[in-house]
Amino acid sequence: MFQLRCTVRDCCQILEPRENSLFCSNGHHFDQAKGGYWNLLQPQDRRSRNPGDVEEAVLARHRWLERGHAQGLIDTLQPWVADSRGTATGSDCRTLDLGCGEGSFASALFPDDIDSYCGIDLSKKAIKLASRSTPAATWVLANADRILPAPDRSVQRVVSLFGRRPISEIKRVMAPAGYALIALPGEEDLIELRQRVQKAGHRRSRWELVVEEMAAAELDCVDRKNWTQTIELDPPAIQDALAMTYRAVRHSQQSQLDTLTAMNVTFAADLMLFRHRS
């Protein structure tokens, strides 16, 4: 199991497993949920009664990945995953996935290290799906925008695939020779749908800003790639593409979407690999 630490405010002690619970030396404990995940969410971490992605977005992403549309992205990331495994001492290569969603990337990218993989998400629906599909991994309901539930300098791979990026916490948990793998939507991502449905085809590149922010924390970009793929989508897949990428369609735009038949849509991502500054 991935080693976790207590999320109670100002505690941060290591959590030790005991039967179906986790205990820290300060007496805090967490029971494992029936679904197999750990709920480490604290009251101050909640911004609503149902935090995290709405169920529509979670299920849309799940259907999307089941169709195999992300295989090109997975293939592009594989060499980095393989290289980063060489930073581990012994056979334990710990991976912390921030905003893991329903967990499909875990088994696709890290099958050889699933016992030392931990996925964190704020959506209970997503974590339940993830725990059900890959029970050998560690799944945590927590707010990755705040304190990450991992000990200092203990993680060989910190992963954020279109998810959260708490830079100071990423730096804290990364092992000295570890990597941080970050993916952002590229400037061409869903450009056809944005032009057609939302009447907004603005191209915005964000990777340069992320590189600057990480560099300020002495985490340097050592490699970068751009992944682009064009896929013909039918109307249900178009609905899912919009739902899973937080570009929900307003009521006024629904009529535009209803008229769409199959169309070619571009998917793009900026991929960055970071290491501690020497």
Annotated binding site for Zn(2+): 24, 28
Task: Please name which of 140, 144, 160 lies closest in space to residue 214, comparing C-alpha atoms.
Answer: 160
Residue type, 64: W
Task: Please name which of 131, 150, 219, 143 lies closest in space to residue 182, comparing C-alpha atoms.
Answer: 219
* Cα–Cα dist 226/206, whole Å: 12
* Cα–Cα dist 2/8, whole Å: 18
Task: Please name which of 165, 149, 168 lies closest in space to residue 40, comparing C-alpha atoms.
Answer: 149
The annotated binding site for S-adenosyl-L-methionine is made up of 102-103
The annotated binding site is made up of 24, 28, 102-103
DSSP 95: E
The vertex-184 CA angle with 179 and 188, nearest 5°, equals: 145
* Cα–Cα dist 139/103, whole Å: 9
Cα dihedral across residues 172, 175, 177, 183: positive or negative: negative
Where do the H-state alpha helices sit in 174-270?
Answer: 191-196, 207-216, 235-244, 254-258
Distances (CA, A) of 120 to 101, 128, 238: 8, 11, 27
Task: Please name which of 117, 172, 122 lies closest in space to residue 144, comparing C-alpha atoms.
Answer: 122
